[in-house]
Structure 1
Amino acid sequence: MSRRKPSPPRGFSGDKYSVLLPTYNERENLPLIVWLLVKYFGESGLDYEVIVIDDGSPDGTLEVAQQLQHIYGPDKIILRPRAKKLGLGTAYIHGLKHATGSFIFIMDADLSHHPKFIPEFIRTQRDGDLDVVSGTRYKGNGGVYGWDLRRKLISRGANFLTQVLLRPGASDLTGSFRLYKRSVLERLVERCVSKGYVFQMEMMVRARQLNFSIGEVPISFVDRVYGESKLGGNEIVSFAKGLITLFSTT
């Protein structure tokens, strides 16, 4: 006997979801991630908007975003570009200022985070009226695909260190696929001081400090198909410094 798939969550009256999508040199990936977002939100009957925050990409990402806005409509694809690359944390802060949803998704634009998990995020949030739902690569059937051994060891090592030093109450502190209540995200942003990749880590530490309820959804993280990874030596050094700072100040 075949198992029936769970029905997608239907939209609650007044619920709207804003997706913050920072981009830098993502012209190949952006059309597909936007199409997938439109698909899964549409199938779920949910009100939504996708806010593209492009940081002056030299590859024409903003021009592609403008075409997508023409295709799907300015009410669904909101463009809030910035003149230059200013960091992931400030991109989310910038996007939040322009979001109109009562719930905020943050995710990567490079197809590492598949929108097919969005209905499960929403179900998990609603079942427990949770403040934050975080995607995790390290619980249940979550996992990482497409990385070489070096990248996996770096990721596992970084996550292990954060668990030992910060005890965040979440299994994947360095991930960046999350759902927040808008009011919760606004409070966390007010308290966070990190601007780059450490921003994601600090958000979860602050959420634990403020006793916000946190849930997790196992996800499959897939390495990007197009473009180059933004993770380099500078980001690793920044992560290490940020970890030490959080450990000493939280």
Structure 2
Amino acid sequence: MEKENIDDGGHDEENKFSILLPTYNERENLPIIVWLIVKYMTESGNVFEIIIIDDGSPDGTLDVAKQLQKIYGEDKIILRPREKKLGLGTAYIHGMKSASGNFIVIMDADLSHHPKFIPQFISKQKENDYDVVSGTRYVGDGGVYGWDFKRKLVSRGANFLTQLLLRPGASDLTGSFRLYKKSVLERLVQSCVSKGYVFQMEMIIRARQFDFSIGEVPISFVDRVYGESKLGGSEIFQFVKALLYLFATT
């Protein structure tokens, strides 16, 4: 693992961005998201790689990923598939092992996160040498598109509750579109105990606990273009349970 230039946010030529894309049944979305990442990262002149962590998708996502690797090259597209669905946290750990960048971007592969925001994250990071830059739907011109009222209410409610109990120093806790210094992400992932939906929230709470600096960029979040949404009643229950746990332990 490259550690020597981790805290050096100043020199462009030494900054490389490893973009982690955990996938499960994203064969329709993957070519579009990869094309957009390549477009915006190339236009902004940033050095990058895309690490695809497919969790045994039955829909042939991995075959599509292999085709994309042929198109863009093995230095740009790195495939790190796993046998089955093992959760987001472990997907990031698995992907990070192969990351040669000193910064790591995590995002969803389902087109709910637009790659056009990544260069904005990078600019924001440089502004203040932030440890974490988080996309927010709740500040400035950030927003959510394609959600019904109930879904918006649940998201807002979860966010409000968390702000109230934990005062995390970030406005959007359940979002999963972020840029981290690699060393910071390694520390956070090691300290997190949550799985799934709550994992993102805990990452920000731990970041505050360790005094890492957090910058924010307003983003527009668009609900899934293809495929099924992954948020259900059991996840809301998990969220509340984890929130109370974090309240008691941080």
Instruction: Give TM-score scaled by structure 2 length.
Output: 0.94
Q: Does 1:185 align with 2:195?
A: no
Kindly state the Cα deviation for residue 150 of structure 1 after the two structures are TM-superposed: 0.8
CA shift digits 1:86-129 (9 cap, x unpaired): 11111111111111100000000000000001111011100101
Identity fraction in percent: 77
Aligned length: 240
Equivalent pair of 1:89/1:197 in contact (CA under 8 Å) = no
- What does residue 134 of structure 1 align with? 134
Which amino acid counterpart does residue 193 of structure 1 have in structure 2?
A: V
Which amino acid counterpart does residue 74 of structure 2 have in structure 1?
A: P
- What does residue 30 of structure 1 align with? 30
| In structure 2, distance between residues paired with 1:57 and 1:176 | 20
Structure 1 stretch displaced more, 86-95 or 124-133: 86-95
| In structure 2, distance between residues paired with 1:113 and 1:164 | 26
Structure 2 segments unaligned to the other structure (5+ residues): 1-10
| In structure 1, distance between residues paired with 2:43 and 2:165 | 41
Which aligned runs of 4 or more in structure 1 are off by greater than 2 angstroms?
Answer: none
Kindly state the Cα deviation for residue 234 of structure 1 after the two structures are TM-superposed: 2.3
Q: Does 1:112 align with 2:125?
A: no
Equivalent pair of 1:106/1:176 in contact (CA under 8 Å) = yes
| In structure 1, distance between residues paired with 2:117 and 2:234 | 31
Q: Does 1:168 align with 2:168?
A: yes
Q: What SS class does the counterpart of residue 144 from structure 2 fall into?
A: strand
| In structure 1, distance between residues paired with 2:181 and 2:147 | 32
| In structure 1, distance between residues paired with 2:241 and 2:88 | 16
Which amino acid counterpart does residue 202 of structure 1 have in structure 2?
A: E
Q: Does 1:15 align with 2:28?
A: no
Equivalent pair of 1:189/1:203 in contact (CA under 8 Å) = yes
- What does residue 207 of structure 2 align with? 207
| In structure 1, distance between residues paired with 2:177 and 2:215 | 12
| In structure 2, distance between residues paired with 1:13 and 1:31 | 28
Q: What SS class does the counterpart of residue 98 from structure 1 fall into?
A: coil
Structure 1 segments unaligned to the other structure (5+ residues): 1-10
CA shift digits 1:35-64 (9 cap, x unpaired): 000001111111100000111111111111
Q: What SS class does the counterpart of residue 197 from structure 1 fall into?
A: helix
Which amino acid counterpart does residue 180 of structure 1 have in structure 2?
A: Y
Q: What SS class does the counterpart of residue 26 from structure 2 fall into?
A: coil
- What does residue 69 of structure 1 align with? 69
CA shift digits 1:59-95 (9 cap, x unpaired): 1111111110111011101110111111111111111
Structure 1 stretch displaced more, 188-197 or 80-89: 188-197
Q: What SS class does the counterpart of residue 22 from structure 2 fall into?
A: strand
- What does residue 245 of structure 1 align with? 245
Equivalent pair of 1:22/1:88 in contact (CA under 8 Å) = yes
Equivalent pair of 1:18/1:99 in contact (CA under 8 Å) = yes
Instruction: Give TM-score scaled by structure 1 length.
Output: 0.94
- What does residue 144 of structure 1 align with? 144
Kindly state the Cα deviation for residue 164 of structure 1 after the two structures are TM-superposed: 0.6
Q: Does 1:90 align with 2:90?
A: yes
Kindly state the Cα deviation for residue 133 of structure 1 after the two structures are TM-superposed: 0.3
| In structure 1, distance between residues paired with 2:204 and 2:223 | 23
Kindly state the Cα deviation for residue 235 of structure 1 after the two structures are TM-superposed: 1.7
- What does residue 5 of structure 2 align with? none
